[in-house]
Chains A and B, each alone.
Chain A
Amino acid sequence: AQRVTQPEKLLSVFKGAPVELKCNYSYSGSPELFWYVQYSRQRLQLLLRHISRESIKGFTADLNKGETSFHLKKPFAQEEDSAMYYCALSGGYGGATNKLIFGTGTLLAVQP
């Protein structure tokens, strides 16, 4: 079954502390993995995707196929990082696989 699991509903850290938002997935095949973010009163937006291997706003995520994980990391949290983070997967290229399967989200709260 296709599934994305985010085990933490809430992650609270202090400003300057490292952040790791966990994401595990279940998919038979080669999925594409994404992190989406929703800041307060804003719409859901793409943060990063594994295939681009970029660092966005200091966040990185490495796809570990052996552990079927795609954890989101940032070495030093900022207050403006406080938001809801969703991990998602897509079944790869084209056809009927364009749908996104989302995890239930993790609320990151960065305390001053």
Chain B
Amino acid sequence: EAGVTQSPTHLIKTRGQQATLRCSPISGHTSVYWYQQALGLGLQFLLWYDEGEERNRGNFPPRFSGRQFPNYSSELNVNALELEDSALYLCASSLDRGGYNEQFFGPGTRLTVL
């Protein structure tokens, strides 16, 4: 069974630009989560999508947004990039059967903002 996939592996942008990161969940998983892993800050929850809707949002500004498509894949968009947005962005997916369901993580997208 294929795991969670993310693209691109690396992304280099300049300050003020927009970045789009993509995630494909494990087949059958309906929930997608986004996390940011910035240097020295650990993994921080960004967004949770399930069945095409945003279910929960972390403490990030509105320029971090995303969406989930009918096939349950997801995009994370970061507008007006700032230097501190440089980080590893991890996507995870899970079933949604009620209760906590194990989250399976992708390899991440390394975003560098110059």
Binding site for B on A (CB under 8 A): 32, 43-46, 49, 86, 88, 90, 92-94, 96-105
Interface size on B, residues (CB 8 A): 28
Task: Find the A residue at minimum CB distance from B106.
Answer: A43
Greatest chain B CB density within 10 A among A93, A99, A100 is at A99
Main secondary structure of the interface of A (DSSP, over half): mixed
Binding site for A on B (CB under 8 A): 3-4, 31, 33, 35, 40-45, 48, 55-56, 58, 90, 94, 98-108
CB atoms of A98 and B42 under 8 A apart = no
Greatest chain A CB density within 10 A among B42, B44, B45, B58 is at B42
- Known contacts A99-B56, A103-B42, A93 near B99 by CB under 8 Å: yes
Complex A-B: 20 CB contacts under 8 Å? A43-B3, A43-B105, A45-B105, A46-B102, A49-B102, A88-B43, A90-B100, A92-B100, A94-B99, A96-B55, A97-B100, A98-B55, A98-B100, A98-B101, A99-B33, A99-B58, A101-B45, A102-B42, A102-B43, A105-B42
